[in-house]
Amino acid sequence: MSADSNTTAVCPGTYDPVTEGHLDIIRRAAELFEKVVVGVVAESPRKDTLFSIDERVAFLEESLPPEANIEVEVFDTLLVDFARKWGAKALVKGLRAISDFEYEFQMAQLNRKLAPDLETIYLMASPEYSFLSSSGVKEVARFGGRVDDLVPAVVARRFAELFQ
């Protein structure tokens, strides 16, 4: 940010569905950067999603604070190309645990090979969300467990419709 004063960051993810842990990272990124683009992966190459891309985007838009500096966008390209398109200076990711760290360490190096001028920065998950993942939440919801504190209200309602 030394040179240009207008800085953008990308918070990428599948968000299937968005959790309170994701929202925490996005909000903290929005404190650090002038603009945050939440990049939603259209299709996950490694697994089917429970929610459609339209639902995943709608959950995010309904849950995020209506601040001017956060935008939700879909992408189906290489992440570094998406970041470039938006003129982003950095990717922002959350770290919850060692397994995140290892995966992210590898991704950071790979992405730097592909786009040397795009930095990836990491924020540590808040302790109250450090155990939280979309897949964990889905497993609980599937059996009718309460997930009200773990996901935004719009997602909790949708789970109730689906699994009860």
> Has 96 been annotated as catalytic?
yes
Residue 35 annotated among the catalytic residues of the structure? no
Please give the distance of CA 151 from its chain centroid, rounded to a whole number.
13
Q: What sign for the dihedral angle of Cα 32, 106, 20, 118?
A: positive
119, two tokens:
């930095």
123 in helix, strand or coil? strand
Which range touches a second copy (CB under 8 A), out of 14-22, 55-63, 102-110, 152-160?
A: 102-110
Shortest Å distance, C-beta 4 to a second copy: 10
Residue 63 bears catalytic tag:
no
Residue selected from 49, 86, 133, 160 as contacting a second copy according to rule CB under 8 A: 133
144 binds a second copy (CB under 8 A): yes
Q: In one letter, which amino acid is 45?
A: P
| Rounded Cα distance, 120 and 68, in Å | 23
Active-site residue flag, 142: no
Supply the residues annotated as catalytic.
22, 47, 96, 134
Residues of the shown chain interacting with a second copy in the complex, contacts defined by CB under 8 A: 1-2, 5, 7, 28, 30-34, 45, 67, 69, 77-78, 80-81, 89-90, 95-99, 101-102, 104-110, 112-114, 119-124, 126-128, 130-133, 136, 139-140, 142-146, 149-150
